[in-house]
Amino acid sequence: MKFLRNILDSIEPQFTGDGKFKKFYPMYEMVDTFLFTPSTQTKNAPYVRDSIDLKRSMVFVVLALLPCFLFGIYNVAHQIMPEADLMTKVIQGSLVVLPIYAVVFTVGGICELLFAIIRGHEINEGFLVTGFLIPLCLPPTIPLWMVAVATAFGVVIGKEIFGGTGYNVFNPALLARAFLFFSYPVYMSGDKVWTADGISQATPLLSASSNSLDPASPFYGVSWLDAFLGFIPGSIGETSTLAILIGALFLIVTGIASSRVMIFTFAGMVFTSTLLNFIGSETNAMFAIPPHWHFVMGGFAFGMVFMATDPVSSAQTDQGRMYYGLLIGFMAVIIRCINPAYPEGMMLAILFANAFAPLFDYYAVQKNIERRKNGYK
């Protein structure tokens, strides 16, 4: 590491002051702060001492995503060649997943770099998580050029036009997915999904919304355990609820993500799906899906753990997080069950709740102010 430190120190004058490459200082700063902890100190109050900075919190989220990432690589190949050995599945799955990551980080990195140079500020680590999330919420057969366009849309429209990391109103990764969903719906939820090597498969959620279900086998022979473990078709990182829960436990223990958002999102889903089970429908099979199936189908668990808990676009107060989570759980089930055009409701539910998060926080703060005023009387 000392060797790298010496190299960075030797080229630093080229990027600072009147250096030849001063316009590209954000690129140098990105590499420096990624490899080493900055030595700069705050000159003015307030002073906050904390070993968990933005870089480390982003790294923790990536670590929590690793179980989904690794299982996603395995499952992509498993759905196409279930009889192959483990090493073959890992190799074949990597050949599908890693090019998507290469496109996302290349396009996203270029966008981040351009905006940093134009604005003259440092490159933030926020895209590290966004870039890791985007491929995980996409089907493995998505064309790479679509991935590139969606990544640019998510970074520029979802974050940079609002001012960059920490200022975005909506989750950039979800905006990238929403762009693909509405621009190229066939590749995201139609006949093109999971069509590879002549094998065509429908995800359980898409099958459940088709209204052509066999009452004796409402999910086309997929057991709840298989859905929980993740041995089903779906987006790369969303199939295994078990892997997602492992990541959730890590985020909660480290204090990176809000357990309150997760709990109330789950509660909102359970309440709404139970209510629809009670109401029932003779024409819409989605009304009959129980809560434990909603939990393991589609992107509900993944969105609940990794998308809804985004520290920037979610609510910031404890009471606001309660309303925020309940709204997501409620809207996810309502969109899934009542609107057959959108069998996956979690994406739209979180984006909808992102727009209301500031309102929830405002209400919580005002309520606290009123309570404190009454206490002084």
Question: How sure is the predictor about 200, in pLDDT bands with cuts at 50, 70 and 90?
Answer: very low
User: Taking 60 as the threshold, does the pLDDT of residue 216 lie above it?
Assistant: no
Cα torsion 87, 93, 94, 98 to 10°: value is -170
Residue 116 maps to a domain: yes
User: Taking 80 as the threshold, does the pLDDT of residue 126 lie above it?
Assistant: no
pLDDT at residue 374, rounded to an integer: 78
Question: Which residues lie closer than 8 Å to 373 by C-beta, 6 or more apart?
Answer: none
Question: How sure is the predictor about 198, in pLDDT bands with cuts at 50, 70 and 90?
Answer: very low
Q: Which two tokens stand for residue 242?
A: 């078990």
Q: How large is the average pLDDT for residues 27-52?
A: 56
User: Taking 60 as the threshold, does the pLDDT of residue 41 lie above it?
Assistant: no
Is the model more confident about 250 or about 57? 250
- Give 288-300 pLDDT, tens digit per residue: 889 999 899 888 9
| H or E stretch at 196 | strand 195-196
What does the mean pLDDT of the chain come to? 80
Question: Which residues lie closer than 8 Å to 41 by C-beta, 6 or more apart?
Answer: none
For residue 195, the 8-state DSSP code is E
User: Taking 90 as the threshold, does the pLDDT of residue 8 lie above it?
Assistant: no
Residue 171 maps to a domain: yes
Residue 158 maps to a domain: yes
Question: Which residues lie closer than 8 Å to 285 by C-beta, 6 or more apart?
Answer: 208, 209, 211, 213, 218
- Note down the domain range covering 134: 54-369
> How far is Cα 76 from Cα 194, in angstroms, rounded to an integer?
9
Q: How many structural domains is the chain composed of?
A: 1
Question: How sure is the predictor about 3, in pLDDT bands with cuts at 50, 70 and 90?
Answer: low
Q: How large is the average pLDDT for residues 304-330?
A: 92
Q: How large is the average pLDDT for residues 318-325?
A: 93
Question: How sure is the predictor about 209, in pLDDT bands with cuts at 50, 70 and 90?
Answer: low
Residue 7 maps to a domain: no
Q: What percent of the chain has pLDDT over 70?
A: 73
pLDDT at residue 274, rounded to an integer: 94
Q: Pinpoint the alpha helices (H) of the chain.
A: 2-11, 25-35, 54-80, 86-119, 126-136, 144-156, 172-183, 185-189, 204-208, 224-229, 241-254, 259-279, 291-296, 300-302, 318-338, 346-376
Q: How large is the average pLDDT for residues 331-355?
A: 86
Residue 316 maps to a domain: yes
Q: Which two tokens stand for residue 199?
A: 């094998």
pLDDT at residue 24, rounded to an integer: 61
Cβ–Cβ < 8 Å for 211, 283: yes
Q: How large is the average pLDDT for residues 346-368?
A: 91
> How far is Cα 296 from Cα 251, in angstroms, rounded to an integer?
19
pTM of the model: 0.80
> Could you please report the per-residue DSSP string of 95-138?
HHHHHHHHHHHHHHHHHHHHHHHHHT-PPPTHHHHHHHHHHHTS
Separation of CA 86 from chain center: 27
User: Taking 80 as the threshold, does the pLDDT of residue 165 lie above it?
Assistant: no
Question: How sure is the predictor about 197, in pLDDT bands with cuts at 50, 70 and 90?
Answer: very low
SS3 54: helix
pLDDT at residue 189, rounded to an integer: 62
Question: How sure is the predictor about 344, in pLDDT bands with cuts at 50, 70 and 90?
Answer: confident
Residue 30 maps to a domain: no
Residue 236 maps to a domain: yes
Q: How large is the average pLDDT for residues 58-76?
A: 92
Is the model more confident about 294 or about 202? 294
Beta bridge partners of 217: 214
Q: Which of 27-36, 48-57, 86-95 has the highest mean pLDDT?
A: 86-95
Residue 48 maps to a domain: no
Cβ–Cβ < 8 Å for 208, 285: yes
Q: How large is the average pLDDT for residues 341-369?
A: 87
Q: What is the CATH number of the domain that holds 196?
A: 1.10.3430
> Nearest 5°: CA angle at 354, between 349 and 355?
105
pLDDT at residue 114, rounded to an integer: 83
Picking from 136, 181, 134, 138, the residue whose alpha carbon sits closest to that of residue 155 is 134
Q: By mean pLDDT, which of 87-91, 191-195, 260-264, 372-376 is the weakest?
A: 191-195
